[in-house]
């Protein structure tokens, strides 16, 4: 039997069984619904994108997978060149992995070893944000601050290697003053904290973080697994403030196959480049650089560029602003909009009980969590479809 994610299996509601998916639509046996979640924010071109599907088929006819240990192949070579060109600054050195969590693990290992390679063994701490989410593996969980994990992490007692701060400049400055000798990196979900509650904050915080990291020689990591490829209304937040390491996942392959990449700048790469074998990065997921995933990612990035996705995202933001303007309810704490993300935060999570089924009946798939009802739609959504997603959200409050 299947053990489903984030679910108490004893009380879990039956999942909707999907038999087909195309564009923004998921199909059950007797209903079609707009996926307002984009399959965990990844399916930016919609389902079954013909160009990406074709790329996968063509590659599958050659070979589906070849390990990168001692071997290489054209799709991974082309994707790494493409990423180097597509990403800002000297974020040029691509380490592939199979999921965002692993991509984060790799980034954190790079940051720690960067200093160990220099003989500095004291920089064992990571600075991270309150309400951060960086994935479900152990180190990712530790640098995260997800309420769902507090319960299990309690078994370990106080976190020794992570310092959490709110997204406020004075707290940032204090943390650097206090811990700068012990920190190897500052990791953030830039501008938009996703799973921690679609929390949005200002770019000035990241600009100050960049200055402080430079002053104290600490690495800045952007976990853009969720924010990358336009979700905040920027291609990457790294276009505005340049990190030393960026992690991409989710939308990397247009959501067609799981894959992630940790991209380092020259400074970080040079910290490993040496005659000494022990200074090498000791990591190598079995399926890193999978040929099907790389072929999908290449096509996905080409589509993103050729079809001017940034204008699609601007249009989503405009329509969302228009539809949500003036919408309030006494149960709503805040309505937040950034790029291709809208979130309604309610005071009491029970207000959202039953919403998923209500949305399903109205032809929309939604998955609220805690106090957050949100939409992160595929960028190819039409105006009518987007209005439907948003009006379903509003209707829930109006009907009660
Ligand atoms: C989803 C997510 C991850 C984890 O990615 P997986 O592919 O689920 O392992 C890491 N960081 C952020 C910001 C995410 O949103």
Give 41 Cα–ligand 1 centroid separation in angstroms: 10
Q: Is the pLDDT assigned to residue 6 strictly greater than 80?
A: yes
Ligand 1 site residues, Cβ closer than 6 angstroms: 99-101, 104, 133-135, 189, 194-195, 223, 225-226, 249-250
Q: Do 154 and 147 meet the contact criterion of CB atoms below 8 Å apart? A: no
Could you say which of 6, 17, 30, 399 is catalytic?
6
Concerning whether 31 is annotated as a catalytic residue, the answer is no
Tell the residue nearest (CA) to atom 3 of ligand 1: 135
Q: What is the sign, positive or negative, of the torsion defined by CA atoms of 223, 225, 226, 230?
A: positive
Give 376 Cα–ligand 1 centroid separation in angstroms: 15
Could you say which of 47, 98, 244, 250 is catalytic?
250
Give 134 Cα–ligand 1 centroid separation in angstroms: 6
Give 43 Cα–ligand 1 centroid separation in angstroms: 14
- pLDDT tens for 227-267 read 999 999 999 999 999 999 999 999 999 999 999 999 999 99
Q: Do 108 and 183 meet the contact criterion of CB atoms below 8 Å apart? A: no
Q: Rounded CA gap, 375 and 41, in Å?
A: 9
Non-local (6+) Cβ contacts of 214 within 8 A are none
Q: Do 344 and 361 meet the contact criterion of CB atoms below 8 Å apart? A: no
How much is the pLDDT for 232? Answer: 98
Q: Which ligand 1 atom is at minimum distance from the Cα of 101?
A: 9
Give the angle subtended at the CA of 145 by the CAs of 142 and 146, to the nearest 5°.
110
Give 108 Cα–ligand 1 centroid separation in angstroms: 14
How much is the pLDDT for 177? Answer: 98
Mutate which of 5, 42, 44, 101 for ligand 1 pocket (most atoms within 8 A of beta carbon): 101
User: Could you tell me how far CA 175 lies from the centroid of its own chain?
Assistant: 25
Mutate which of 105, 135, 251 for ligand 1 pocket (most atoms within 8 A of beta carbon): 135
How much is the pLDDT for 204? Answer: 98
Percent of the chain with pLDDT over 90: 96
Give 104 Cα–ligand 1 centroid separation in angstroms: 8
The total number of residues written for the chain in this structure:
400
Mean pLDDT for all residues in the chain: 97
Percent of the chain with pLDDT over 70: 100
How much is the pLDDT for 400? Answer: 65
Q: Rounded CA gap, 254 and 295, in Å?
A: 11
**How far from 383 is each of 24, 31, 232, CA to CA, in Å?**
12, 21, 19
What does the DSSP 8-state code read for residue 377? -
pTM: 0.98
How much is the pLDDT for 159? Answer: 85
Q: Do 3 and 220 meet the contact criterion of CB atoms below 8 Å apart? A: no
How much is the pLDDT for 62? Answer: 98
Q: Rounded CA gap, 133 and 124, in Å?
A: 20
Q: Rounded CA gap, 175 and 170, in Å?
A: 9
Q: Which ligand 1 atom is at minimum distance from the Cα of 189?
A: 13
Mutate which of 250, 256, 288, 297 for ligand 1 pocket (most atoms within 8 A of beta carbon): 250
Strand order in the sheet with 219-223: 93-97, 260-264, 245-248, 219-223, 183-188, 125-129, 162-165
Give 222 Cα–ligand 1 centroid separation in angstroms: 12
| Selection from 177, 178, 201, 175 nearest residue 190 by Cα | 201
Concerning whether 179 is annotated as a catalytic residue, the answer is no
How much is the pLDDT for 157? Answer: 81
- pLDDT tens for 63-89 read 999 999 999 999 999 999 999 999 999
Q: What are phi and psi of 101, to 5 degrees?
A: -60, -45
Per-residue pLDDT band at 135 (split at 50, 70, 90): very high
Q: Do 153 and 159 meet the contact criterion of CB atoms below 8 Å apart? A: yes
- State the distance between the two ends of the chain, measured CA to CA, in whole angstroms: 38
Q: Is the pLDDT assigned to residue 149 strictly greater than 90?
A: no
Q: Rounded CA gap, 103 and 86, in Å?
A: 18
Q: What is the mean pLDDT of residues 367-386?
A: 98
- pLDDT tens for 208-217 read 999 999 999 9
Concerning whether 133 is annotated as a catalytic residue, the answer is yes
Mutate which of 129, 193, 229, 249 for ligand 1 pocket (most atoms within 8 A of beta carbon): 249
146 - beta bridge partners? none
Concerning whether 250 is annotated as a catalytic residue, the answer is yes
Per-residue pLDDT band at 147 (split at 50, 70, 90): confident
Could you say which of 47, 133, 355, 374 is catalytic?
133
CB atoms within 10 A of CB 119: 6
Q: Is the pLDDT assigned to residue 181 strictly greater than 80?
A: yes
**How far from 372 is each of 112, 294, 343, CA to CA, in Å?**
34, 33, 6
């Amino acid at each position: 039997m299947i053990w489903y994610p984030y679910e108490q299996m004893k009380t879990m509601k039956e999942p909707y069984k999907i038999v087909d998916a195309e564009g923004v639509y998921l199909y059950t046996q007797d209903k079609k619904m707009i996926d307002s979640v984009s399959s965990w924010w990844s399916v930016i071109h919609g389902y079954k994108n013909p160009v990406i599907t074709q790329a996968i088929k063509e590659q599958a006819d050659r070979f589906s997978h070849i390990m990168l240990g001692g071997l290489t192949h054209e799709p991974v070579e082309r994707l790494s060149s493409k990423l180097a060109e597509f990403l800002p600054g000297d974020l040029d050195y691509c380490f592939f992995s199979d999921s965002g969590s692993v991509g984060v693990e790799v980034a954190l290992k790079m940051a720690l070893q960067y200093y160990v390679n220099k003989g500095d063994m004291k920089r064992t701490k990571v600075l991270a944000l309150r309400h951060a989410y960086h994935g479900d593996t152990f180190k990712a969980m530790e640098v995260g601050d997800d309420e769902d994990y507090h319960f299990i992490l309690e078994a370990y007692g106080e976190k020794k290697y992570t310092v959490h701060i709110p997204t406020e400049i004075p707290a940032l400055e204090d943390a650097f003053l206090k811990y700068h000798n012990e920190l190897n990196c500052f990791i953030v979900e830039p501008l938009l904290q996703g799973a921690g509650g679609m929390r949005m904050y200002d770019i000035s915080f990241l600009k100050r973080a960049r200055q402080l990291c430079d002053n104290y020689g600490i690495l800045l990591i952007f976990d853009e697994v969720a924010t990358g490829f336009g979700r905040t209304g920027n291609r990457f937040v790294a276009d505005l403030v340049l990190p030393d390491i960026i992690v991409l996942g989710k939308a990397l392959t247009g959501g067609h196959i799981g894959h992630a990449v940790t991209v380092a700048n020259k400074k970080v790469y040079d910290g490993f480049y040496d005659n000494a074998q022990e200074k090498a990065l000791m990591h190598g997921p079995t399926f890193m650089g999978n040929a099907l995933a790389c072929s999908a990612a290449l096509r996905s990035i080409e589509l993103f560029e050729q079809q001017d996705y940034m204008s699609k995202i601007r249009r989503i933001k405009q329509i969302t602003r228009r539809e949500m303007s003036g919408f309030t309810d006494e149960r709503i704490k805040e309505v937040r909009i950034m790029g291709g993300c809208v979130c309604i935060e309610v005071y009491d999570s029970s207000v959202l009980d039953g919403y998923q089924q209500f949305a399903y009946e109205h032809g929309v798939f939604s998955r609220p969590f805690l106090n957050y009802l949100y939409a992160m739609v595929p960028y190819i959504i039409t105006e009518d479809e987007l209005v439907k997603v948003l009006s379903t959200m509003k209707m829930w409050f109006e009907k009660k």
